[in-house]
Amino acid sequence: MSQNKKTFSIKGMHCASCVVIIERSLKKIEGVSQATVNLATEKATVTFDSGKVTDEHLSSAVSNAGYRALVIDEIKTESDEQREKQQELRSLRFKVIVSLFLGGLILWGGFPGLMKTAPMILQNFWIQLILATPVQFWAGFGFYRATISALKHRTANMDTLVAIGTTVAYGYSAFVTLLPELVTKIGIEPMPYFDTAAIIIGLILLGRYFEAKAKAGTSEAIKKLIGLQAKTARVLRDDKEIDLPISEVIIGDIIRVRPGEKIPVDGIIANGESSIDESMITGESMPVDKTKGDVVVGATMNKTGTFTFKATKVGSDTMLAQIIKLVQEAQGSKAPIQRLADLVSSYFVPVVLMLAFLTFAVWYDFGPAPTLLFALLNTVAVLIIACPCAMGLATPTAIMVGTGKGAEHGILIKDAESLETAHKINTIIFDKTGTLTKGEPEVTDIIPIGSMSEDELLKLAGSIEKGSEHSLAEAIVRYADEKKLALSKVEGFQAIPGHGVEGVIDGKRIIFGNRRLMDKEAIDISATMNKISEMENSGKTVMMIGVENKLVGLIAVADIIKESARDGLLALQKLGIEVAMITGDNQRTANAIGHNLGITRILAEVLPDQKEAEVRKIQAEGKVVAMVGDGINDAPALAAADVGIAMGSGTDVAIEAADITLINKDLKSVAAAIVLSKKTMRTIRLNLFWAFGYNVVLIPVAMGALYPFFHILLNPIFASVAMATSSISVVSNSLLLKRKKIV
């Protein structure tokens, strides 16, 4: 027997008696030895035999008591939702089959032209009444229940229209069947319309069935993200390796990950190295090599090596949890374009009901004989054709698919409004350091003058710079380390502010610094001036090294342009977007980098606190501006821009000032985000056009607007076909977004 202890959240507790009820319910499970519930923390801790008790047992014991257990938090909720949906779909499918089958039989026996081929029994009105009744009141029960509940709130929805429409058709038909002589007396042939009522219910339910299946596809991205979560972690505790559910991993735990395993939570590698596939989080297809001190992200896949890492973020703080939260929030937000649809749908159903009254009166008063029949059928057609759902679904389904698709590519969109604004962007300002460039200077050129080799020169520079704290010195020392050069001991090291450094190595005086240092020391650099200028003009910082007052070499250091920068900017230019660069660097360095990247609008020597003002200046030119930065130093500029785009760093994705966060750090994603926005907006517009157009055109047709000119009327059965397809077409159109290429 293996004892296991588990703590999980309970939802729905109010008082101390709840504690007693839940504890009693949990203790009743066979295999549970102890159960304590804490009202303050809303948590239960249960000790149980893991061979006998499963999460399901715990969860159902709590729900039987009338509360909800979050045994595996989000995942649990999702599976609940899925189970409930599956059940609904099964029941819906059964109702569709039964109602279409019965409706089909009635249609066969009652439709002019077809009825001659039908058995006599189906032509009998009483049999039709018997067949139509279960469809109307069993399959169509949901319409009635929703109508009654809505009426209690003085609201109406699509169910109200369907319920009234089909009841009118069914009620008239039942009347004709029960009292045919009364109908004959007023000059109408007693013909029932049971087929209309039954087929409408069958088709609308069929439409709902397909709509529900399609809608499930719109939230697939969230399900996929939740599915990425690892279930267990191999934690080293008390010199033992134990497998723990990730909910029990705490910050500071040392976790071992073997090849082919998922990294359970976020952390920093403590020992070992490996190649890690981060594509599921960042969308970046190439595996990343990581070693001691590097950050690893939960839910990514370890490919080759074994390593241990220290957990730094667990539970809802992990990058995956933050991404899920961000995507969920974006999917719950409202796009400004939706406002009109919102306004229309709040008046829609009552207005359709009023139009139905109008239709009835006009056809009864002015229509051809039999006026009552025309009035009834056209009223039913108006009630059935109206489709407010398509309008309600047009924007949110596209937003859900769009934001989900973004997340799959490492593009996290904060809300629907940001996604909407992004398609209008016509100018993008890039912060230089850390965004277009790597932000860490690297050695680009080593030019010995005289007999020294490149390595000897680097060794000398690395040795003298070892004691310096300057960022350029760091680049040189790091490069010497990478080349595994053994650095020499320096005596008498001294930094000369604004100039460079000096010291003595192996008895020789070494100086290392800029031109001013050489001038000060009266070292002749005239022979290398062309080379120095050439390098400086291309944005590099050139440093000179002198041994015993003689120039022995040059070392150039530069902030390297990111590999994805050129392609990223090219993609933006192809979209017709103007690109600008903003930097605190001097004009010459800025120009060098800018020209290298094909940027013409360069804003150089801008102090960090002036970046926001520069953004506003460009906005004042009437431009819709996006600012791309790291989200930390340039937060005010990001917030001032119409769309702030932050390049993610580390495991923090919730960058407050950013509207869009690119967690893959790939500059090509800037263009991809804009393309995604454009395609999503196109889908929304098409959806809204279809949803509005459908109602605007077909409601008057159903009212009989074409009758005076062409004698065209809309059969209520065709109205139900059109109505059922309208919502599906809108949802399917949104789902098509998934197939669109954005990169």
Partner 1 sequence: MSVDKIIITISSVAGIAFTYWFFLAKKDTEIQVFDSVDIIVDGGYSPETISISKGKTTKLNFIRKDPTACLEEVVLGDFKVRKYLPLNQKITIELTPQQSGEFVYSCGMNMYHGKIIVK
Which positions lie near partner 1, rule CB under 8 A?
11-12, 63, 68, 77, 80-81, 84, 88, 142, 145-146, 148-159, 208, 212, 328-334, 338, 341-342, 345-347, 349-350, 353-354, 357-358, 360-361, 364-365, 375, 388-389, 391-393, 396, 415-416
CA angle 599, 601, 607 (to 5 degrees): 110
Judged by beta carbon, residue 39 or residue 288, the one nearer partner 1 is 39
Query: 257 — alpha (psi -120 to 50), left (phi > 0) or beta?
Result: beta
- Helix (H) / strand (E) element for 81: namely helix 73-110
Minimum distance, C-beta of residue 732 to partner 1, in the bound complex (Å): 16
How many CB atoms are closer than 10 A to CB 361?
A: 12
Assess whether the previous peptide bond of 190 is cis (omega < 30° from 0).
Answer: no
Judged by beta carbon, residue 159 or residue 634, the one nearer partner 1 is 159
Q: Which residues contact 173 (CB under 8 A, 6 or more apart)?
A: 125, 128, 129, 132, 192, 193, 194, 196, 197
- Helix (H) / strand (E) element for 306: namely none
Nearest C-alpha neighbor of 555 from the set 481, 479, 486, 470: 479
Nearest C-alpha neighbor of 693 from the set 398, 401, 394, 396: 394
**Cα distance between residue 475 and residue 473, in whole Å:** 5
Q: Are 108 and 198 in contact (CB under 8 A)?
A: no
Minimum distance, C-beta of residue 232 to partner 1, in the bound complex (Å): 27
Q: On the CB side of 423, how many CA atoms lie within 13 Å of its CA?
A: 19
Minimum distance, C-beta of residue 217 to partner 1, in the bound complex (Å): 14
Minimum distance, C-beta of residue 347 to partner 1, in the bound complex (Å): 7
Minimum distance, C-beta of residue 124 to partner 1, in the bound complex (Å): 31
Which residue is it, tokens 């119409």?
A: 642
Judged by beta carbon, residue 394 or residue 555, the one nearer partner 1 is 394
**CA torsion, ordered 632, 638, 639, 640, to nearest 10 deg:** 140
What are the Cα distances from residue 82, in Å, to 145, 230, 338, 408, 444? 23, 20, 28, 21, 56
Q: Are 75 and 315 in contact (CB under 8 A)?
A: no
Please report how the helices 125-134 and 194-218 are oriented relative to each other, as an axis angle in degrees rounded to 10: 20
Q: What phi, psi does 648 have (nearest 5°)? A: -65, 150
Nearest C-alpha neighbor of 135 from the set 93, 88, 96, 186: 96
Q: Which residues contact 138 (CB under 8 A, 6 or more apart)?
A: 95, 98
**Neighbouring-strand partners of residue 243:** 234
Pair type for strands 427-431 and 301-302: unpaired
Q: Are 58 and 45 in contact (CB under 8 A)?
A: no
Q: Which residues contact 452 (CB under 8 A, 6 or more apart)?
A: 460, 552, 553
Both tokens assigned to 523: 């070292």
Judged by beta carbon, residue 610 or residue 732, the one nearer partner 1 is 732
Judged by beta carbon, residue 126 or residue 137, the one nearer partner 1 is 137
Minimum distance, C-beta of residue 405 to partner 1, in the bound complex (Å): 17
Annotated catalytic residue 49: no
**Cα distance between residue 357 and residue 376, in whole Å:** 10
Minimum distance, C-beta of residue 675 to partner 1, in the bound complex (Å): 24
Judged by beta carbon, residue 396 or residue 539, the one nearer partner 1 is 396
Minimum distance, C-beta of residue 728 to partner 1, in the bound complex (Å): 13
Judged by beta carbon, residue 418 or residue 468, the one nearer partner 1 is 418
Judged by beta carbon, residue 126 or residue 141, the one nearer partner 1 is 141
Minimum distance, C-beta of residue 529 to partner 1, in the bound complex (Å): 60
Judged by beta carbon, residue 142 or residue 434, the one nearer partner 1 is 142
Q: Which of 253, 415, 431, 559 is catalytic?
A: 431
Minimum distance, C-beta of residue 383 to partner 1, in the bound complex (Å): 12
Judged by beta carbon, residue 67 or residue 193, the one nearer partner 1 is 67
**Which residues form the catalytic set?**
431
